[in-house]
A and B are shown apart, each in its own frame.
Chain A
Amino acid sequence: MKKLKGIGVSPGVAIGPAYILLTGRIKITRRILRPEEVSREINRFHRALDETIRDLEEVKKHIPAEMSQPLSIIDAHILMLKDPSLIRETERYIRESFMNAEWALRKVLSRYQQIFLSLGDFYLRERIHDLEHLIDKVILTLQGQNNQTTLKEPAVIVAHDLSPADTARLRPDTTQAFVTEVGSRTSHTAIVARSLGIPAVVAVKDVTETVNPGDLLIVDGLSGEVIINPTQEVIEEFLDRRLECQERKAFLSRFAKEPAITLDGRRVAIRANIELLDEIPLALEFGAEGVGLYRTEYLYVTRRDLPGEEELYRTYRQVVEGLSPELVTFRTLDIGGDKFAQELDLPEEINPALGLRAIRLCLKNPALFRTQLRAILRASLFGRVRIMFPMISGLGELHLAKEILAEVAEELRREGVELKELPSLGVMIEVPSAVAIADLLAREVDFFSIGTNDLIQYALAIDRGNEEVAHLYEPLHPGILRLIKQSVEAGHREGIEVAMCGEMAGELFCVPLLIGFGLDELSMNPQTIPAVKNLVRKLSFEECQALVEEALNLPTPEEVRALLLDWFEKKDLTLF
Chain B
Amino acid sequence: MVKRKVVIQNDLGLHARPAAKLAEAARKFQAKVYLRKGSQQVEAESILDVLSLACTKGSIIEICAEGEEAERAVSEIVELLTEKIS
Cross-interface CB contact of A79 among B12, B20, B54, cutoff 8 Å: B20
User: How far apart sit A307 and B12, CA to CA, in the bound complex (Å)?
Assistant: 7
Q: Which residues of B contact A116 (CB under 8 A)?
A: 51-52
Q: A83 to B12, Cβ gap below 8 A?
A: no
Q: Which residues of A contact B42 (CB under 8 A)?
A: 85
Given contacts A80-B47, A83-B48, contact A306 B54 (CB under 8 A): no
Q: B13 to A79, Cβ gap below 8 A?
A: no
Among listed A123-131, A136-144, A190-198, interface-contacting one: A123-131
User: How far apart sit A73 and B49, CA to CA, in the bound complex (Å)?
Assistant: 17
How does the 8 Å CB contact mask read for A130-157 relative to B, with 1 for contact and 0 for none?
1100000000000000000000000000
Q: With CB as the reference atom, state the residue of chain A lying closest to B9.
A: A308
Q: B52 to A79, Cβ gap below 8 A?
A: no
Q: B56 to A84, Cβ gap below 8 A?
A: no
Cross-interface CB contact of A123 among B15, B49, B84, cutoff 8 Å: B15
User: How far apart sit A303 and B56, CA to CA, in the bound complex (Å)?
Assistant: 14
How many chain A residues touch B (CB < 8 A): the figure is: 28
Q: Which residues of A contact B11 (CB under 8 A)?
A: 305-308, 311
Q: Is B86 an interface residue (CB 8 A)?
A: yes
Given contacts A86-B46, A311-B86, contact A112 B52 (CB under 8 A): yes
Q: Which residues of B contact A72 (CB under 8 A)?
A: 17, 20
User: How far apart sit A131 and B84, CA to CA, in the bound complex (Å)?
Assistant: 25
Q: Is A76 an interface residue (CB 8 A)?
A: yes
Q: In the complex, what's the smallest C-beta–C-beta distance from A484 to chain B, in angstroms?
A: 41
Q: Among A72, A115, A124, A310, which residue has the most Cβ atoms of chain B within 10 A?
A: A124
Q: Is B70 an interface residue (CB 8 A)?
A: no
Q: Is A75 an interface residue (CB 8 A)?
A: yes
How does the 8 Å CB contact mask read for B42-80 relative to A, with 1 for contact and 0 for none?
110111110110101000000000000000000000000
Q: In the complex, what's the smallest C-beta–C-beta distance from A8 to chain B, in angstroms?
A: 33
User: How far apart sit A23 and B78, CA to CA, in the bound complex (Å)?
Assistant: 38
Majority SS of interface residues in chain B? Answer: mixed
User: How far apart sit A459 and B4, CA to CA, in the bound complex (Å)?
Assistant: 61
Q: Which residues of A contact B84 (CB under 8 A)?
A: 310
Q: In the complex, what's the smallest C-beta–C-beta distance from A110 to chain B, in angstroms?
A: 13
Q: Which residues of A contact B17 (CB under 8 A)?
A: 72, 76
User: How far apart sit A85 and B23, CA to CA, in the bound complex (Å)?
Assistant: 12
How many chain B residues touch A (CB < 8 A): the figure is: 24
Q: Is A120 an interface residue (CB 8 A)?
A: yes
Q: Which residues of B contact A130 (CB under 8 A)?
A: 16
User: How far apart sit A116 and B52, CA to CA, in the bound complex (Å)?
Assistant: 6
Q: Which residues of B contact A79 (CB under 8 A)?
A: 20, 23-24, 47
Q: Which residues of B contact A311 (CB under 8 A)?
A: 11-12, 86
Q: A76 to B86, Cβ gap below 8 A?
A: no
Q: In the complex, what's the smallest C-beta–C-beta distance from B69 to chain A, in angstroms?
A: 18
User: How far apart sit A127 and B53, CA to CA, in the bound complex (Å)?
Assistant: 13
Q: Which residues of B contact A166 (CB under 8 A)?
A: none
User: How far apart sit A184 and B82, CA to CA, in the bound complex (Å)?
Assistant: 39
Q: A76 to B52, Cβ gap below 8 A?
A: no
User: How far apart sit A307 and B10, CA to CA, in the bound complex (Å)?
Assistant: 10
Q: A115 to B52, Cβ gap below 8 A?
A: yes
Q: B12 to A308, Cβ gap below 8 A?
A: yes
Given contacts A72-B17, A310-B86, contact A124 B48 (CB under 8 A): no
Q: Interface on A for B, CB 8 Å cutoff?
A: 72-73, 75-76, 79-80, 83-86, 112, 115-116, 119-121, 123-124, 127, 130-131, 303, 305-308, 310-311
Sort A-B residue pairs by CB-CB distance and give the 8 closest, nearest first: A308-B11, A85-B46, A76-B20, A119-B54, A115-B52, A76-B16, A79-B47, A311-B86
21 A/B residue pairs, CB under 8 Å, sorted by A = A73-B16, A76-B16, A76-B17, A76-B19, A79-B47, A80-B48, A85-B48, A112-B48, A116-B51, A119-B54, A120-B54, A120-B56, A123-B13, A124-B15, A124-B54, A130-B16, A308-B11, A308-B86, A310-B84, A311-B12, A311-B86
